[in-house]
Amino acid sequence: MTKRLFFALAGLAVVVLILADVMHAMQGVVGLVTNEVFVVTRRWLFEFDVTTWGWVHVVIGLIGAGTGVALLSGASWARILGVVIAAVSVIANFLWLPYYPLWAVIIIAFDVFVIWALIVSWQDLKNV
């Protein structure tokens, strides 16, 4: 593959990272605003306070978006941080699945792509 293709893959990963982390921050704001989620089962009603999860998502989203901007500027340290933030985002969204499953699955898919693209393009750029 050509060097241009790898740069395009890395650039797409940066855009997806920023998009996923903006969605992450929005997800956190929704958690902060709603504050409580009610889950009704056959016999019980469970009430969950999602304020803490909201703050976790907002912080991860802001750090990830900042990492994406740093990647756009060409900072090499941002690749490692991008992979770490995407991995933390996958774990956080896996735990967030009961509250907002559609958003969580979409962000998990974005994060898996970002991890793959940053690692693959990084390895192959060194060899080109």
- Residue 96, C-beta contacts closer than 8 angstroms, at least 6 positions apart: 27, 53, 57, 103, 104
**pLDDT average, residue stretch 80-100:** 85
Question: Which residues are 42's β-sheet partners?
Answer: none
User: Domain residues of the chain, as ranges?
Assistant: 3-122
- Is the model's pLDDT at 102 over the cut of 60? yes
What pLDDT does residue 42 have?
56
In tens, the pLDDT along 44-72 reads: 444 556 677 778 878 888 898 888 888 88
**Phi, psi values for residue 40, rounded to 5°:** -105, 125
**pLDDT average, residue stretch 92-116:** 84
**pLDDT average, residue stretch 7-13:** 74
pTM of the full structure? 0.72
